[in-house]
Structure 1
Amino acid sequence: MIQIDQLSKKYKGAEGFSLSGFDLKINEGEIFGLLGPNGAGKTTLISILCSLLKPTSGTFRINGLTYKEHKRELQQTIGIVPQEYALYPSLTAVENLTYFGSMYGLKKSHPLKDTIAEHLETLGLSNFANKKIKAFSGGMKRRVNLIAAILHRPKVLFLDEPTVGVDVQSKTVIMEYLKQLNAQGTTIVYTSHHLNEAEQFCRRVGIIDHGKLVCAGTPKELIMAQKGADHLEDVFLGLTGKALRDHA
């Protein structure tokens, strides 16, 4: 589903590359976890794959499509759930979702209304459909953010920290919903700092550091390959070190 070949990115004025010769294949129907310390290159990679950022060199294809040749089709193929809320606080949940649906070319008709209502029901938001987003809790905003990304039924869903800052109940609902989407055929690319969550959720994971892919495999394979590791967190620390990666 996703083919990445020798992808590199150097920002203007930067001394080094944020991505360097990055290669990766993600299969159709996979839940793939992209893990790495702060500044490792995860956000840069996701931004390029979502066509929000141009690479310095290298190529990628999603479902056989390239950004240069199939820009419109590629936008319809993917869904993006950013870490920051991409919602209008002064609009209601339904108004937000109707707006985002129209951006994907979905008509403001009964099918769209029914689709929105169905997703709100599934994620426990029916009673808040006509409430303004600014009155929502963090977990509720995360759930609406997710719905906005999948209204057009994308084949690939990119998730950047989808459960950060949410309560346990919202986290459980979100993760179960993502599993349902995947079971229906959606390929999921997921980034997170919650390594225990990634270990349980992802079929395969890739660890990225200093703009390069350090390793990739099932969580079990990576744990078995790392001496003394019992969990994915042990693998992560063993490969990327324990030094702080804070950035101002």
Structure 2
Amino acid sequence: MTIELGLTPDSRWDVGVPGLVAAAAEAGFSAVGMPGPQVDAACAATLAAQGLRCHELLALVVSADEEATVREARRLAEAAAAVRAQWVLTTFMAPLQGRTGPLVERCAAMFAEAGAGMAVEFSPLGAVTSISAALEVAEAAGKDRAGVLIDSWHFFRGDSSWDQLESVPLEMIAYVQFDDAPPPVSENAMKETMHRRVMPGEGTFELDQFASTLLKRGWEGLVSVEVLSSELRRLPVPEFARRAYETTVRYWR
């Protein structure tokens, strides 16, 4: 089975593209996510020089404001083409209903023209809250234009079930984001997800079962470590990346 490891950056890191790409490469990752605003010709050259690829572009938010959503999707499509991003991470503040379906299809078509797919991220904090709901969105995006992004934090803290993980069509998985978390200390889920994640194996998530469920089904793809933590942001990015790789690799080999 072939599992590739990537790194999803924290938008609060004080690091430029050269530092981020170097840290990811030195830690052992073969792919790194890129915030759309940081993408330019220099970014593409930096990735190429380090032998890394951009697996995800961050990020489109689909909202009730159709004009703003399309405008941002167009910018991200241009950025995706510049770095040959495989996926554009897409979150949803608007549910899949009424005009949202055609809007999703339109954005996915832009990404497809740029050579990228729409990675549909479900979250208990948004309008698409489970694997099943994300599959419906991916289908609305159009055949071969979208896949489901499965984030372990959203899986364990959201509406998804083990049955959904065991039955999601493997070809519909865009990639996995991998992280852990301690028991929550408040009901503020946004604070918990943005500031209190921990390295894989250092929290309470059943990550062995999570990973083995996909591996035993024969899934092959990319696992991207995304640990958002106010405490871990104090680490130098190279040290963070090294720890992220070392704590993740055992689950997927």
TM-score computed with the length of structure 1 as normaliser: 0.40
Structure number with the bigger relative contact order (C-alpha 8 A, sep ≥ 6) is 1
Q: Counting helix residues as a fraction of each chain, which structure ranks higher?
A: 2
